[in-house]
Amino acid sequence: MLRPGLLTKRLSTSTTSLAARRTSQAALSNFPRASLLLSSIQNPRFLSSAANSFANIKSQLNDPTLITTAGFIDNEFITTSNSGKHFPVYDPANGTEIARFPDMGIEETDRAIQAAKQAFSSWSKTTAKERSTILRNWYNLIIENEQDLAKIITWENGKPLADALGEVRYGASFFEWFAEEAKRLYGEVIPSPNRQQRMLAIRQPIGVVGIITPWNFPNAMITRKLGAALAVGCTVVAKPASETPLSAVALYELGRRAGVPKGVIGLVTTHHNTKAIGKHICESQDVSGISFTGSTAVGKLLLKQSADTVKKVSLELGGNAAFIVFEDADIDKAVDAAVLAKFRSSGQTCICVNRFYVHSSIKDVFGERLREKVEKFRVGSGMEANTTHGPLINKASVEKVRSHVHDALNHGAKLLTGGKESENTHGYFYPPTVLTDMNNNMRIATEETFGPVAGIFSFETEDEVLELANNTRFGLSGYFFSKDVSRCWRVAENLQVGMVGVNTGAISSEVAPFGGVKESGIGREGARQGLDEYTQYKYINMAI
Ligand code: NAP
């Protein structure tokens, strides 16, 4: 099943009109179904691993000027670091180096902060309509360049090209959404309790915002934050994940073309100075807010580091999602949703299922049908046309997944499929795996696996399964399947999570508030609530 080899065939390119692409985007905008979109990728070119150098990558884009190996400070792409050091970026499908980025430090970060501070004084004064126009331009440019942006994601992240295209469209949807929401940043007129005063509350941008993003959505995790921050008038200094800076730099190039003014968006690339830069941004008196997506451990650290300057902190952290299948569920629908909610991006999304709780009366049939589906996956390079599931991001991820599987087997789990790694792979692959007879002594019961492993636990009653599902410090997303309407309300209300999928495994949307409770985070992204993270109310009392 594992096919790490890469095709060397090259297909000819052709262009598709923007209008046609927009139509297809409207029809296919539901990001979680991205893996079904393979046929809509236009003329993917396939690489041999040896040909995967930066020059080669560039030459395979319709617009090679989209990517530079650089940060972006005060409207300039900066290709060197003050230290003279660079860090490598790898293709996870074959482990080869594909680019080298400047390993920036505190000095460059400070320059970006100061440029953003200066730009804030004018950007925050622009009208909502002006900001909306720029965001809309940026959205249009992303859609025009979506094929290139998808390839860039696949090169550095590994996800299949169809999923990458889905991510590009999902990412763009935040610029479209916030371009619209910018114009609706309403304050409030408060009925005054006395005749001599009038009261109102207006909403203002908080200032310069530090943004730190992960590798699992190299494009969309940036746009989800940037869109909201820019819409309200904040300026930004962003640090992308060191595994995936190419998508960030391509987005910034399009932002420049869209007309984002000088200094408004900064990009600092680093690997070795990540900790120092993170601390510096948190402690800077010139930065008013931090928006972070990543692991809970790093989120907690950033929260602590931001305390002394009393920053507004927004955190999108790890999850440990439960997926409950009640005895009255439509099993086939539940299995289809399980495939999506567990194995999308090879299990590397924060809302991926970590624990399957299936009623004991249907556990075996659910496990069997899930096994059948999983065995049809095609694992390989994301650049191959029929790949459904790509590699993991790096060696450490493979090791973590392997250790979770071994731990479960050692504690009595039964292997339904997967679990056996090919010895002849150069990339970071782990076979999609289904385990059953799981119990609470296993690491998967409490730790986020972040990989392609479905572990099936069984339960008897609704109360029991709610207790099991909620018995975690995480609370990002949860899913359940049932045809009983009363139960649907009860369980949706009682799951301790920020997002619930009822009879669905696809919940992400730019129009809905994304975020967690407990140690899965603070704040919401997307939706109208996404603007809250970047604004503060100012109360004005006017005597008359
Ligand atoms: P991570 O290690 O926390 O890294 C995320 C980002 O934080 C990267 O840019 C990383 O930079 C940076 N970083 C690491 N240590 C830092 C420090 N001490 N100070 C400042 N920045 C630091 O997380 P990951 O392993 O890349 O991502 C996976 C995790 O993200 C999972 O737990 C997943 O659930 C979570 N996630 C959550 C959401 C959500 O919306 N809730 C979405 C996606 C992912 P370097 O790359 O340079 O190390």
Q: How many Å is the Cα radius of gyration of the chain?
A: 23
Which residue's alpha carbon is at the smallest distance from atom 21 of ligand 1?
Answer: 278
What are the tokens at 305? 């580091």
End-to-end CA distance of the chain: 77
Residue with CA nearest ligand 1 atom 39: 316
Cα(213) to centroid(ligand 1), Å:
6
What pLDDT is attached to residue 425?
72
Q: What is the pLDDT of residues 264-295, one digit of tens each?
A: 999 999 999 999 999 999 999 999 999 999 99
CA distance 39 to 20: 15
Q: Quick check: 339 pLDDT over 70?
A: yes
Residue nearest atom 40 of ligand 1, based on CA coordinates: 316
Residue 97 pLDDT level (bands cut at 50, 70, 90):
very high
Q: Which amino acid is at 174?
A: F
Which residues surround ligand 1 with Cβ inside 6 Å? 212-216, 239, 241-243, 271, 274-275, 278, 293-295, 298, 301, 316-319, 350, 448, 450, 476, 516, 521
The Cα 143–Cα 169 span in angstroms is 7
pLDDT of residue 225: 98
Is 80 exceeded by the pLDDT of residue 52?
A: no
Alpha carbon of 276 to ligand 1 centroid (Å): 15
> Does position 391 have pLDDT exceeding 80, yes or no?
yes
Give distance in angstroms: CA of 149 to centre of ligand 1: 21
| Active-site residue, from 156, 167, 253, 316 | 316
Least confident of 27-36, 131-140, 242-251: 27-36
Over residues 165-175, mean pLDDT: 98
| Contact call for residues 397 and 348 (beta carbons, < 8 A) | yes
> Which atom, in ligand 1's list, is nearest to the CA of 214?
5
Distance of alpha carbon 115 from alpha carbon 97, whole angstroms:
32
- CA 371 to centroid of ligand 1, rounded, Å: 31
Of 201, 215, 205, 209, the C-alpha closest to 236 is 209
- Residues whose CB falls within 8 Å of the CB of residue 502, separated by 6 or more in sequence, listed in order: 479, 480, 482, 488, 491, 492
Average pLDDT value for the chain: 92
pLDDT at 21 over 60: no
Please list the alpha-helical segments (H only) found in 240-319.
Answer: 245-258, 274-283, 296-305
Say yes or no to pLDDT of 126 above 90: yes
Instruction: Take residue 159 and report the two structure tokens written for it.
Output: 């996800």
Separation between Cα atoms, residue 471 and residue 475, nearest integer Å? 10
Distance CA 496, CA 305 (A): 27
**How far is Cα 151 from Cα 93, in angstroms, rounded to an integer?**
13
**Mean pLDDT value across residues 318-343:** 98
Instruction: Based on the residue annotation, tell me whether 316 is a catalytic residue of this protein.
Output: yes
Query: How is 325-385 classified by DSSP, letter by letter?
Result: E-TTS-HHHHHHHHHHHHHGGGG-STTSEEEEEEETTTHHHHHHHHHHHHTT--EE-TTST
pLDDT score for 53: 87
Residue 279 alpha carbon, nearest atom of ligand 1:
19
Q: Please state the atom number of ligand 1 nearest to the C-alpha of residue 212.
A: 9
Tens digits of residue pLDDT in 414-426: 999 999 998 767 8
Counting ligand 1 atoms within 8 A of each CB, the residue from 103, 212, 223, 522 with the most, and so the one to mutate, is 212
Task: Determine the distance separating the centroid of ligand 1 and the alpha carbon of 275, expressed in angstroms.
Answer: 11
**Atom 42 (ligand 1) nearest CA:** 350
Q: Which of 77-81, 421-425, 524-528 has the lowest mean pLDDT?
A: 421-425
pLDDT at 38 over 70: no
